[in-house]
DNA sequence: CTGAAAGCGCTAACAT
DNA sequence: ATGTTAGCGCTTTCAG
């Protein structure tokens, strides 16, 4: 826009130093010892001319792309949207870019990942999907780049960033217990899946600590989606309407589905049944009654995952196993103390 | 993983041709005339060795980054999530990458865009935010890269991909009229904004065509968010409860807010008031009653925007002014024929 | 019909 | 305390 491109070469002309000197000076390369005044001069003129290192040059030299890939099931899920948001900003801040691919479950995903790695040369994969999906972990790791699972864990796989799922499940259930509930149902995901299984365990932990007997009849396998939450609530009501005063639902979306069924069937929320969901998003405030949820810092989680991956790529660490423990209850309208 | 990197150099060794010949052969460069058999040989061995051109080399040579930037107000908004989804996949398919930055309104955005352009070297900006936000158009265009507005228009700005907002507003309102409504309210956005203004005009168009007098009392300025939709509905009810049997709300989120207030105030939806929203997303099925909406192909819109930008960068066109006209009503539970 | 050479902007090893 | 050189992988004149 203003003139010719500002490269190390033009800085060299202007200052009289060599390209390589400039390069090392601007990066504070310790292998360079330079007079403070000259260092200052170089930095000053770089600043003045608006020098920006060209990522292409650096990439070529280093044989690196400085790009990460993220594999996400629909961005329309606000939980994932928050995680991606965090990952994006961490990447940009670190001078990386993030390529996001949507992997609708059931679709052929193999090719997407191969493209990401082989064509776009991403150096690492952030995986927010997987397990019982259309790609398996071995296939992914076979692509030859580090993989970090986000909001997921897999048997024997060493890189992950997750929240304290089990503690969160316990927190949710304990909250319901604390406000007087005793007959607490749980709409779960597939128990074999990490998130679902842990949340379910937390539910049981809380019951046990409170001395409440676990009743399998009150647990209904649902799933993570709106429709699955709705269908599961139908089944639960058919089986034991009136048998519970509160329900802990495995996801925000499923909770929305459950609430829609409760209302349809004339069950007041929270009058007859309190509803608690895991994870927080805009959706929680967009349904009525607004949803009480367990909130974890999802944006931070995305950031941590991206930073961790970058640390791995830059050899500052060899693995990442971060668990966010700071879940908290966000009280909204869908829960209330039990009626006496 | 398997061996040394497959570059043009190794293909040259293997085939006996020169790097440059290989390069041209693989790109079907018309300046190369080569025997069909040799061409085939080259392509075959490239395939066999799994050759992938390294984007870094190409970038450096061409002084191009093959990266686009997108400026988005929160990905948690499903409307934007869909658009970004489409843009992402179009970019990947074309060998570009897409860097997404979140621009929460009111935050200092200048620096984000500068970073995108100067540090990450994006070659074009897809803008989904703007106007009355923390950055103005002239500032953006001053960055020296092409800008395409998506789901927005700005006075006198030539690049945009939008939907037929006005026709959509008319469609929404006509639908309500067709099922018998006469007193139809409208929760609008700020009329000065493109989307809001057009949708409002569409509302008036439909009334006029049906011979229904426009009543300013039935139009309440809201905004695009849940909270603004809720607040506006409060005001509308305070002013003229019972004075309308249907309402067309400017966004999905605002409609969710409006519905929450209607229910809170004991107004049945759709029994007493039918609710129609503009744009469709998962949220429409996650609230109860499920929302009738005007659906436009938002993912396609994102794709079109990215493709258009790429066409501009590659000189296949000089501007893009695409309007998606194919809106349709998605009937759900929030609307019903007027009661007799 | 094909090859040789140069250069994009950057960094690293090796000289002074 | 600084300069020289070479090369990352690709494309593009310009020569044969």
**Statement: the CB of A88 is under 7 Å from strand D:** no
Interval A166-173 mean pLDDT: 98
Q: What is the DSSP letter of A115?
A: I
What's the mean per-residue pLDDT of chain A?
A: 92
Yes or no, beta carbons of A97 and B5 under 8 Å apart: no
List of residues 6+ apart from A168 with CB closer than 8 A: A199, A202, A278, A294, A296, A327
pLDDT of residue A193: 87
Give A99's contacts in chain B (Cβ within 8 Å): 88, 92, 97-98
The pLDDT-based confidence of A38 (bands split at 50, 70, 90) is confident
> Residue with structure tokens 């099925």?
B285
Report the alpha-carbon distance of residue B120 to residue B265 in Å, rounded. Answer: 51
Q: Would you state the pLDDT for residue B132?
A: 65
Q: What is the pLDDT along chain B (340 residues), one digit of tens a residue?
A: 556 789 998 888 889 888 889 899 898 888 877 888 888 889 899 998 999 999 999 999 999 999 999 999 889 999 999 999 999 999 999 999 999 998 877 777 888 888 999 999 999 999 998 766 667 788 888 999 999 999 999 888 999 999 999 999 999 999 999 999 999 999 999 888 889 999 999 999 999 999 999 999 999 999 999 999 999 999 999 999 999 999 999 999 999 999 999 999 999 999 999 999 999 999 999 998 999 999 999 999 999 999 999 999 999 999 999 999 999 999 999 999 998 7
| CA separation for the pair B251, B274 (Å, rounded) | 15
Average pLDDT value for residue range A52-57: 93
Tell me, in Å, how far CA of B51 is from C1' of D10?
Answer: 13
What are the angstrom distances between the C-alpha of B325 and each of A17, B37, B171, B174, B281?
59, 48, 11, 16, 18
Q: Sorting pLDDT into bands at 50, 70 and 90, what band is A222?
A: very high
Instruction: Choose among A118, A256, A263: nearest Cβ to B286.
Output: A256
Instruction: To the nearest 10°, report the CA torsion of A256, A262, A265, A268.
Output: -130
* A220–chain B nearest CA distance, Å: 20
A106: pLDDT confidence band, cut at 50, 70 and 90? confident
Taking the C-alpha atoms of residue A115 and residue A202, their distance in angstroms, rounded to an integer, is: 39
Please give the residue of chain B at the shortest CA–CA distance from A262.
B288
Three-state helix/strand/coil letters over B78-125: HHHHHHHHHHHHHHHHCCCEEEEEECCCCCCCHHHHHHHHHHCCCCEE
Q: How far apart are CA B272 and CA B338, in angstroms?
A: 8
Nearest neighbour of B88 by CB, restricted to A67, A100, A286: A100
DSSP 3-state of A13: helix
Q: Which 16-45 residues of chain B approach strand D with CB closer than 7 Å?
A: 19-20, 23-24, 27, 29, 31
Name the minimum distance, in Å, from the CA of B22 to any CA of chain A: 18
DSSP state string for A300-320? HHHHHHHHHHHHHHTTS-S--
Contact A326, A296 (CB under 8 A): yes
Return the pLDDT at B39: 87
Mutate to test the interface with B, among A4, A65, A81 (most CBs of B within 10 A): A81
Give the pair of three-digit tokens for residue B177.
């009229």
* Predicted model pTM: 0.94
Q: Which of A234, A268, A261 is nearest to A339 (CA)?
A: A268
**C-alpha dihedral (A177, A181, A183, A184), degrees to nearest 10:** -60
Residue appearing with tokens 């994932």: A80
d(CA A154, CA A139): 14
How far, in Å, CA of A278 to CA of A222, rounded? 14
- Record the tokens describing residue A216, joined without a space: 């399998």
Q: Determine if residue B212 is left, alpha or beta; phi over 0 gives left, psi from -120 to 50 gives alpha, anything else beta.
A: beta
What pLDDT shows up at residue B2?
56
Exposed, middle or buried: residue A314 (CB in 10 Å: 0-12, 13-18, 19+)?
exposed
**How far apart are the C-alpha atoms of B228 and B236, rounded to whole Å?**
12
Q: What is the pLDDT of residue A134?
A: 61
CA distance B160 to B24: 35
Cβ within 8 Å, pair B102-A89: yes
CB-side neighbour CA atoms (13 Å) of A185: 30
User: B203 exposed, middle or buried (CB, 10 Å; 0-12, 13-18, 19+)?
Assistant: buried
Q: Which stretches of chain A are DSSP H helices?
A: 8-15, 19-26, 36-49, 55-62, 78-93, 110-114, 137-141, 165-178, 194-209, 226-240, 252-264, 283-286, 298-313
* pLDDT for position B280: 97
Whether A31 shows a pLDDT value over 90: the answer reads no
Cα(A298)–Cα(A86) distance, integer angstroms:
8
- Residue A238, pLDDT > 90, answer yes
| Chain-chain contact of A286 with B65 (C-beta, under 8 angstroms) | no
pLDDT at A41: 87
- Can you give the pLDDT at residue A327? 95
Q: Which residue is nearest to nucleotide D2 (CA to C1')?
A: A21
Q: In what side-by-side order are the strands of the sheet with B67-72? A: B97-102, B67-72, B124-127, B147-150, B160-163, B321-324
Strand partners, A160: A149, A321
Retrieve residue B17's tokens: 């041709």
β-pair partners for A293: A277, A330
Secondary structure (3-state) at B49 = helix
User: Which bases on strand C have an atom closer than 7 Å to a protein beta carbon?
Assistant: 1-14
Number of neighbouring beta carbons within 10 Å of residue B338: 15
Q: What per-residue confidence (pLDDT) applies to B134?
A: 61
**Residues ≥6 apart with Cβ < 8 Å to A316:** none
């Amino acid at each position: 826009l203003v003139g010719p491109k500002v490269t190390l070469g033009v800085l060299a002309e202007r200052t009289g130093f060599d390209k390589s000197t400039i390069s090392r000076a601007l990066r504070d390369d310790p292998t360079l010892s330079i007079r403070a005044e000259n260092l200052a001069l170089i930095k000053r003129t770089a600043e003045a001319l608006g020098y920006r290192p060209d990522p292409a040059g650096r990439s070529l030299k280093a044989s690196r792309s400085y790009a990460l890939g993220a594999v996400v099931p629909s961005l329309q899920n606000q939980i994932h949207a928050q995680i991606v948001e965090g990952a994006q900003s961490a990447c940009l801040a670190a001078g990386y870019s993030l390529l996001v691919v949507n992997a609708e479950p059931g679709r052929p995903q193999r090719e997407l990942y191969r493209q990401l790695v082989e064509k776009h040369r991403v150096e690492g994969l952030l995986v927010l999907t997987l397990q019982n999906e259309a790609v398996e972990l071995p296939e992914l790791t076979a692509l030859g780049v580090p993989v970090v699972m986000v909001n997921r864990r897999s048997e024997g796989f060493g890189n992950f960033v997750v929240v304290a799922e089990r503690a969160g499940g316990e927190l949710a259930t304990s909250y319901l217990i604390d406000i007087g509930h005793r007959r607490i149902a749980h709409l779960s995901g597939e128990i074999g899946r990490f998130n679902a299984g842990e949340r379910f365990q937390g539910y049981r932990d809380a019951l046990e600590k409170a001395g409440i007997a676990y009743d399998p009849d009150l647990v209904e396998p649902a799933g993570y989606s709106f429709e699955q939450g709705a269908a599961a609530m139908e089944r639960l009501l058919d089986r034991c309407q009136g048998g519970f005063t509160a329900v802990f639902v495995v996801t925000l979306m499923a909770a929305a589905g459950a609430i829609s069924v409760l209302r349809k069937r004339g069950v007041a929320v929270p009058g007859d049944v309190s509803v608690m969901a895991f994870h927080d998003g805009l959706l929680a405030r967009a349904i009525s009654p607004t949803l009480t949820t367990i909130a974890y810092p999802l944006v931070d989680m995305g950031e941590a995952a991206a930073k961790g991956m970058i640390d791995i790529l830059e050899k500052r660490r060899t693995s990442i196993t971060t668990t966010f423990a700071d879940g908290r209850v966000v009280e909204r309208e869908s829960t209330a103390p039990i009626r006496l």
